[in-house]
Structure formats: C-alpha cells, structure tokens
Structure 1
Amino acid sequence: MSLSRRRFLESGAELGAVSLLATVPARAAEPGLRFFVIGDWGRDGMHHQRAVGRAMAAAAVASNPAFIVSAGDNFYESGVTSIHDPQFKTSFEDVYAEAALHRPWHVILGNHDYRGNVEAQIDYTRLSHRWQLPARYYTRTIAAPGGGAEIFYLDTSPFIRKYAGTITNTAGQNPHAQRAWLDAALTASTARWKIVIGHHPLYTALGGHGHDQPDMIAAFEPILRRHHVPLYINGHDHSMQYVEMTGTAYLTTGAGSHTYQPGPPSRAGYCSGDHGFLAVSLTAQDIQLDFVDIRGRNVFAKRLTA
C-alpha cells in the first residue's frame, strides 16, 4: 500500500543559525536520483562482506548511484583507534575497491563505532576522497528535477539509554540538541523528499522487544509524523526489513556482513536474513525501494507514490 499524498506534503521556512551545523551540499544528479544504503559491514571482508561489496559494485555499474550511504557499525567490534587504524584499509578501502564504488560515501555512526574513537572516523574525511562524515549528524541537499531531496543523517547512539555507562561511550553528547536541530532543519527544508537515516530503528517488521527501539520511537516518531517524513532508513538489526507505521515507511538495511535468520515478520511487511543492501531511486513522483542480495537479485521491491 502506497503512502498517501497528504503525508508527502512539506512546508519550508527559514532555518537561520541552525543550518550552520554541518549542512553540506552534494553534487547534482540526473533525473531519477539513485543511491545505495549498506549497514553493519566492517569485518575485514569476512561474513560475506566482500560478496555484498561485489554485488553492490555490479549494481553501481548498471545504475550509477550518485552516492552510497553507510548506516553505521562501520568497524567491528570496537570501532577504530585513530585515523591510522588499519581497519580503514582492511574493512573499507580494500573491500570496496572496485572503481564503481569510488563515489561519495555518506557515513553515520553506529553503537560499535562508539566503542572506539569516533573523532577518528570524522577526521578520516580529510584523508579519503570518498569517506564523508563531516559531523556526528548533518544534512545533504541533492538537486534533482521536481524539487530534489534532503537527507538528514542522525547520530542515534546517544538516544539509547542502556548504553549509558557502558563500553558504548556516548558520554558528553546532547540528544536534546540533536532533536531540536532535526525539527528545525525539517521545518526549513524545501526539498521535494525529506528522508531521515539513522543507525538504530524505530519500528521493524519483527516488532517487539529487541527489534523496535522504544527510546528512538519516543525521541523521533513525533518529529517524523509532524513533518510527514515518508522514509526512515536504519541499520543495527542484521537483516533486511520493511514495514509501514504511522504514515512512514521504515527500512532496515543491516545486512552488509554478518546476518541471522529472523523468521517471518510479525507485522505486515518484509523481513529476511539475506546478505545485501538497499537501492533507492527518487523521482518527482515516487520513491522506488529495492533490497538486493549477494547474487544481485532484487528480493523485495516497494514503490512509495506521492
């Protein structure tokens, strides 16, 4: 079932000083903006990480995505230690080495990244021609026919209360400020499509304890509903899932390396333990969503219409 037109109507206003917080323009794209999203991948090529990378490279040759999004948990088990950590080479540069994958990677942080040196991942942006993590949370505005898109990249680990005082060190972060930033940035956006991406899910097709994230629902669902955000994408759960809840499509794409077999969804939607990634295509009229597995097969497709 497609989301209704009313849920896609969006208003614009002046953001003012808030826009100074890491709002970075992206390159213009051809009609039919395409991008890929891969999550939970950084395992030195193991657990099918290389196979997913090869499938993504083949798809990139065919469809020429404007950029690739990493939905967090970039390096297992405990992030990186510095900008010279060998994992940048063994888990990223060497695995996604095909020429078709040498395009901008818009990166966010996951909970495993918070076990290491987060600032090193931000600073690696200066050393890499494709790794782009300018701040812990930021936006990208993409020009395209029909009004383009704006993607809001979140830093979700500080919102998960159980991480406080653990190895996942989110101390010193201010989730209230991030929520205020997102609310103001969505209000100011004049893009045709507003898409939010974070590491942790709100709702999943599996539902229930351990899959839905009550902390995330409490923090972000009111904002997503108020601004009629049609699409929220996340990683964290090592699977590929789709579900529609309260007017928003929620997609989990955490199958970049290690996965598990989740069983059938408890809600109307899709759920699979296949290894793979998400391909997104935007036009002025619709959003096309495709989960692609390591054999290059489209295992699930959904079109959201305006």
Structure 2
Amino acid sequence: MNLTSKPLSRRQVLLGALPAGLALTVPARAAAPALPFVVIGDWGRRGADHQAEVGRQMGETAASIASRFVISVGDNFYENGVQSLDDTHWRQSFEAIYTAPALQTPWYVILGNHDYRGEIAPQLAYHSKSPRWRMPARYFSRTETLADGSAADLFFIDTSPFIRAYRGSAVRIDDQDPAAQLAWLDQALGASTAPWKIVIGHHPLYTALGGAHHDQPDLIAPLAPLLRRHHVPVYINGHDHSMQYVEMDGIAYVTTGAGSETYETGPANRPGFAAGAHGFLRAALRPEVLEIAFVTETGAIPFSRVIPRTPG
C-alpha cells in the first residue's frame, strides 16, 4: 500500500482534517456484516490526562458501531499497577470511567510493564468482581465467529518478559519464561485453521517512528519471523503513548497507546502514520478484511485503513 508519511499538525488531528488520500473509505457494499470492537491502551490514570474524555468518546463510538467487546493492550493502571482486589484504582480508573452501556461488554485484557510494577494476581482474579474483566491468564487465545461462519483466532500475549532491560528492575518479570510463551504461541498459531489470525501484545515490534526508543528489537527477533511464518496479517499493541500505523514485510503493525497521557510524535519516519492525539482504535472484522480507524477524544478520525486477510 502507498501510505503517506506527511505529518499532521495537532490541530488537524483533533479536528479530523486529513490530507487528500490519507484515509481509505470503507466500501459501501460489504460482503458480510462486521464483527465490531474497540481497542484501548495505556489508560489507567484515575481519570486524569484525558482518560475520562477518551472513555466518554469510546462509549459513544462503541454504541454507534454496536461494539461486541473491548480489548485492552496493557498498562491498565499507572504508575505501579494494583496491589489487591480492593485497590482504589479499580474504581477510580476502571469502573468509574468506562460507564457507558456500550462498554459493559467483555474486556479482554493483557498486561503492560506498569502492571508488572504491582501485583498480577488481582488482575487475573478481578473477573470475580467484574464479569466484563476477562484476563484468564498472562497469555491466552480466543476464537470469534464471523458473519459467514468462519473463525478469527485472537492471540493475546504478554510481552514484558521478553524485554531484557526489565530483568532485575521494578518491572517484576524475572519469574516469567519467555521461551515457554514463545513455544506456546508458535504451537497455537500453527494449530489454528482460522482464516484470520491476529496477535495482540503490549509492546510494539515496529512503529512508524522507528528507532531505538520506539521499535523493540527484543520482540522483533523472536516474534517477527513467527508472524510471517504463520501468515499473521496484523499485530496490535500499546506502550508507545501515541497512535501509529506501519507495514513491515507485509504485516500491519498498529499502535494504540493513547488512552490517557500522550506526547507529540512529530512526523512518521517510515511510510505510515503517527500522531500524539488522545484516543483509541475502532475496528470491524469481516471475512476478507479488517477495517481500522483511530478515533480521538473529540470523535475525529485522523487515519483509517483496510487490512486484507493474508492468504495462507
């Protein structure tokens, strides 16, 4: 695909003003109804840093598309995760923020590095207090059925244990085994017969900004060959507090880490898109394509893309 790398000003992003040809229009006649959902990352700040505003818009967008579920790509609670099932973060950063009826759907949640600064057991157990909170394990998979009866397999992974800089730090991943997780993912992807295979993690592999502060070599080395080998068309992540899209070796890498605090990204350094607006990702999965759009806290759509399924 020919993607523009011309940067948008923050005003353009917030107002939804796009250069000609940046966003692709969804075809008027779709082959089948979509499976709609929303994705948010890097959000839990007790409503601060635009979290509350993003949450309100996400509720409106979820209602408008009849979203079936929410995916959280980690860093659910800043700065140091949660300490227990009764931590005030649960109320102040989750229950009191995402109150819209359209967000009372299942939330499929993974862990970020800030979650590893706290206790993981409460996040794994919180479904006992909130049925919409779904984190059955540190990494897991689930299958969704599309309108034509075909399957989409979603693989939720735990990326922090792969990052070598976290060893011996406040990000407590030393007791985790990344090799075992990688073997699980390789086996699960290989066993999947679903036409769609989508992998979701907290950290990026590749970003539109590139460079040592944005790409993650510790993930590229083990995961990129695996994604190619198993014909995975898209990897979705958070961690970088921005909205980014880039294609590398035929795979779409989508960063949606703008659920609260963000930064000014500057222009994309690779053909793609990068912006520091606050917001989330809207998605619609169809048998042949995945339609994605970044949505800002004001409801603007600064970038959208239609990602085809990878034959395989």
CA distance in 1, matches of 2:64, 2:193: 31
- Which residue of structure 2 lines up, in the alignment, with residue 203 of structure 1? 206
1:300 maps onto 2:303 in alignment:
yes
Kept after mapping to 2: 8 A contact 1:228/1:247: no
Give TM-score scaled by structure 1 length: 0.90
Kept after mapping to 2: 8 A contact 1:80/1:116: yes
Shift of 1:98: 1.4
- Which residue of structure 2 lines up, in the alignment, with residue 134 of structure 1? 136
CA deviations 1:278-297 (Å, max 9, x no partner) are 01111112110100001111
CA distance in 1, matches of 2:261, 2:110: 19
SS in 2 for 1:59: helix
- Of 172, 178, 183, the match for 1:180: 183
1:154 maps onto 2:157 in alignment:
yes
CA distance in 1, matches of 2:308, 2:81: 38
Kept after mapping to 1: 8 A contact 2:75/2:114: yes
Aligned-partner residue type, residue 218 of structure 2: D
- How many equivalent pairs are there? 280
CA distance in 2, matches of 1:127, 1:282: 30
Aligned-partner residue type, residue 75 of structure 1: F
CA distance in 2, matches of 1:31, 1:185: 27
Shift of 1:76: 0.3
Aligned-partner residue type, residue 125 of structure 1: H
Aligned-partner residue type, residue 140 of structure 1: R
SS in 1 for 2:155: strand
- Of 71, 74, 77, the match for 2:76: 74
1:225 maps onto 2:228 in alignment:
yes
Identity %: 56
Aligned-partner residue type, residue 56 of structure 2: R
CA distance in 2, matches of 1:190, 1:136: 23
Kept after mapping to 2: 8 A contact 1:35/1:66: yes
CA deviations 1:246-300 (Å, max 9, x no partner) are 1110000000000000100000000000000001111112110100001111110
What stretches of structure 1 of length at least 5 have no aligned partner?
Answer: 3-29
- Which residue of structure 1 lines up, in the alignment, with residue 253 of structure 2? 250
Q: Deviating runs (4+, > 2 A) in structure 1?
A: none
SS in 1 for 2:180: helix
Shift of 1:101: 0.8
CA distance in 1, matches of 2:276, 2:151: 32
Aligned-partner residue type, residue 92 of structure 2: T
**Which 10-residue stretch deviates more, 121-130 or 149-158?**
121-130
CA deviations 1:117-137 (Å, max 9, x no partner) are 011110112221211001000
CA distance in 2, matches of 1:140, 1:125: 16
1:169 maps onto 2:172 in alignment:
yes
CA distance in 2, matches of 1:81, 1:285: 43
Shift of 1:148: 2.4
CA distance in 1, matches of 2:279, 2:295: 5
**Which 10-residue stretch deviates more, 138-147 or 285-294?**
138-147
- Which residue of structure 2 lines up, in the alignment, with residue 275 of structure 1? 278
- Which residue of structure 2 lines up, in the alignment, with residue 13 of structure 1? none
Shift of 1:145: 2.8
Aligned-partner residue type, residue 91 of structure 1: S
Kept after mapping to 2: 8 A contact 1:286/1:304: yes
SS in 2 for 1:298: coil
Give TM-score scaled by structure 2 length: 0.88
Kept after mapping to 1: 8 A contact 2:206/2:214: yes
CA distance in 1, matches of 2:188, 2:304: 30
CA distance in 2, matches of 1:90, 1:130: 16
CA distance in 2, matches of 1:268, 1:98: 36
- Which residue of structure 2 lines up, in the alignment, with residue 240 of structure 1? 243
Kept after mapping to 2: 8 A contact 1:154/1:197: yes
- Which residue of structure 2 lines up, in the alignment, with residue 31 of structure 1? 33
CA deviations 1:167-215 (Å, max 9, x no partner) are 0010210100100000110011121210000000000000001100000
Shift of 1:304: 1.4
- Of 124, 127, 133, the match for 2:126: 124
Aligned-partner residue type, residue 242 of structure 1: Y
Aligned positions of 1:13-52 closer than 5 A: 31-52=33-54
- Of 95, 107, 123, the match for 2:97: 95
